[in-house]
Chain A
């Protein structure tokens, strides 16, 4: 075997070519892993919003909370189901909410509007969603024109920051009294206002968008679902909260992944060719060395492996740089449109060990493919003519 140190030295000697080829590879790996992190971020944001053991009820045929409408009187009927867990004081854990979309001017560009999801919440919202914590200010007083907002939209929209106010209806300002942290779930991009204030502003009196219930155990879901869906009077459908949110993220994640894969395939071809050019040039320059190696008795296979290894090393250096750059995207958050709700959702890039390893493997594969032809050429040289060069 030819020692690896030989390859490392060769890469060092041709610094410029090595850097240029590695930089190209680094950019490809950067884009590749950033895209995967973003798709992961979208799925996680929406995935985190769902809880095992919580079921969501919508009107039959509605595909999102926004398009669903339920008679508020049915909340009591649903809450009476035997599969529902009870909270303190033996009260069944059921949460009826109204979800609407509010057009708000963007803080930085006041003439531009974007949609923000406003959730009209009842008194028991914070006990029901125990993962949501108030991080600044305080909880809203029920029954008043006070609201709390998720940390991701803080300052993004006009009037949406601690102590500021926005209007749900003409001349009825709603004051932001608290900021909450929903652990990176979709709720982080929502405004939570009093259910009656939202109802009266949006003409939804006596209505609900959705009901959530906490089941005694996730296993009781099927029984609960059968009970509700067979009740003709209710005309609702029941989903596990997690699958509801997964469905919501499908379209966007699919688009970003498809776009990303297309870009990655095209990009990587370019980068592989870049590596190939570098390797060909480096082999042409090293004809004499290769001839010497062969004359010293190194086998053709070990020459091939050695050059392949060099190309993989080159790719891994590039891939490592790219992956590190992509990791720094962690602190970038990204507002995009959730196509199911027509409102904004803030997602961030989510690095996972799998993505980092996958990116490095991807770089290695690029190195192998890019280095294969040049390495074959090197191994098939005749030592005599190569030394004469």
Chain B
């Protein structure tokens, strides 16, 4: 009769309790994975930011536009490979006014040089460049709007009033997660020609690519120095910093979710600890017998901890199996439909999956420390005297 066999028997000793514990832990793992996935999905934009892209906007605010010729100035700064400009257009789908997606007017001549991850079939690209009111739509947004290449879509302007009709020239699929699949890009010229004289030739921000990503900071400072001497000062940041500053604004929510995921772990610890403690208490007598037979306290403790870790890891695995459909199909779909612009890529990160399982094992060991400690310290005579 080995200790390993004893441990195996012990797990099966109270099947209902072990099963319940595992279910509870598995559910907690689902919650943990879900929250972590929200956090990683939110930071995906920052993690996947292009290392070689800089964005230049007005120093005081993104709502102040800049003269169009600023883009030419940026292009001439040494180390800058290509530059393009855009304007936030902010349109809504009149059929679903509450759904948010990005509509951006871009300089089509240079847009694809800077955003080389925006992939379109060659014929769609040509069509887009040739159609005055042509637009390309991300694959997720295309599904939401229910459009195919060749369709027309009418959107309601918010900043630029009126109804705007766009011809859907193509549907883009990003090759990297640096850009979302929920945007609509159309010709800046179309916007510029359609608005009153006073608002013309103004651009929202400039995006440029640098030859050498390590020189990004130096080049940013150089760009800002040049404009600082003119009437409109700018702020140039790497795409990563830009995304991080957006993240900073939602940091309250992120912090709260972080805390909640820690609370989940604590709840798991409670449930598991309670179960292990009950099991150990029930076996007080047996442990006394084992000790009387000459087993050392250490030999008593190891199976207790092993049992807890095994239950933890097993529950973690069950939780993961459950989490994939719940998180990716259920929550992911809901978020993509309702908040696709904020969660462009809602997938469970492998790191999250591994962390969850390892944490479960670790929690198991932690939870078993107090009861194991108690079992090891107990006097053999007391243990044998104990009743249930």
Q: Which residues of A contact B (CB under 8 A)?
A: 16-17, 20-21, 23-24, 27-28, 30-31, 38, 59-64, 66-67, 69, 100-103, 106, 109, 112-115, 167-170, 201-203, 235, 250-251, 254-256, 258-259, 262-263, 266-267, 269-271, 273-274, 276-278, 280-281, 285, 334-337, 339, 342, 344
Contacts and interface: CB of A to CB of B under 8 A. Distances in A.
A63 B92 contact: yes
B35 A263 contact: yes
B261 to A, nearest CB: 9
Contact of A24 (B16, B97, B267): B267
B249 A262 contact: no
Contacts of A63: 92, 97, 158
Contacts of B339: 251, 255
Given A24-B267, A256-B253, A271-B267, A277 B274 contact: yes
Contacts of A59: 161
B31 interface: yes
B273 interface: yes
B9 to A, nearest CB: 18
Given A66-B63, A202-B61, A334-B252, A274 B161 contact: no
Shortest 6 CB-CB distances between A and B: which pairs?
A273-B24, A266-B31, A20-B274, A337-B249, A336-B252, A67-B158
Contacts of B98: 250-251
A201 B65 CA distance: 12
B354 interface: no
A81 B113 CA distance: 54
B250 A280 contact: no
B290 to A, nearest CB: 22
A359 B376 CA distance: 41
A258 B25 CA distance: 22
A285 B388 CA distance: 8
Interface in B33-75: 34-35, 38, 59-65
30 contacts: A20-B270, A24-B267, A24-B270, A24-B274, A28-B267, A61-B162, A62-B159, A63-B158, A69-B159, A101-B61, A102-B60, A103-B60, A103-B61, A113-B245, A167-B60, A203-B64, A235-B161, A256-B253, A258-B334, A262-B34, A266-B31, A270-B27, A270-B31, A274-B24, A274-B267, A277-B274, A281-B278, A334-B256, A342-B62, A344-B249
Given A20-B274, A273-B20, A277-B20, A27 B252 contact: no
B161 A102 contact: no
Contacts of B357: none
Contacts of B266: 27
A135 B244 CA distance: 35
B147 interface: no
Nearest to A258: B334
Nearest to B279: A281
Contact of A251 (B35, B63, B100, B334): B100
Contacts of B156: 61
A270 B250 contact: no
Contacts of A235: 161
Contacts of A115: 61-62, 249
Contacts of B62: 101, 103, 115, 342
A335 B161 contact: no
Contacts of A28: 267
B273 A267 contact: no
Interface centre among A30, A167, A202, A281 (most CB of B within 10 A): A281
A311 B25 CA distance: 20
B260 A31 contact: yes
A112 B245 contact: yes
A274 B273 CA distance: 10
Contacts of B157: 61
A42 to B, nearest CB: 11
A277 B158 contact: no
A277 B388 CA distance: 17
B21 interface: yes
A61 B164 CA distance: 12
Contacts of A344: 249
B253 A336 contact: yes
A103 B58 CA distance: 9
Nearest to A21: B274
A313 B23 CA distance: 24
Contacts of B30: 266
B366 interface: no
B296 interface: no
B245 A114 contact: yes
B325 to A, nearest CB: 14
A161 B347 CA distance: 42
Nearest to B334: A258
Contact of A266 (B21, B28, B64, B228): B28
Given A112-B248, A259-B38, A262-B331, A280 B28 contact: no
A60 B163 CA distance: 11
A269 B22 CA distance: 12
A304 to B, nearest CB: 19
B17 interface: yes
Contacts of A277: 17, 20-21, 24, 271, 274-275, 278
Given A103-B235, A277-B275, A62 B158 contact: yes
A273 B271 contact: yes
A262 B21 CA distance: 21
Best-surrounded residue of B20, B25, B30, B252 (most CB of chain A within 10 A): B252
A16 B331 CA distance: 37
A339 to B, nearest CB: 7
Contacts of A61: 156-158, 161-162
Nearest to A205: B198
A188 to B, nearest CB: 15
A63 B92 CA distance: 9
B303 interface: no
Given A27-B270, A269-B24, 12 more contacts: A62-B159, A100-B64, A103-B59, A114-B249, A251-B98, A270-B24, A270-B28, A273-B23, A273-B27, A274-B274, A277-B274, A335-B252
Nearest to B35: A263
A359 to B, nearest CB: 15
Contacts of A112: 244-245, 248
A250 B264 CA distance: 27
Nearest to A66: B63
A346 B249 CA distance: 11
B174 interface: no
Contact of B267 (A67, A169, A270, A336): A270
Given A103-B60, A202-B61, A337-B250, A267 B90 contact: no
Contacts of B23: 273
B271 A270 contact: yes
A101 B63 CA distance: 7
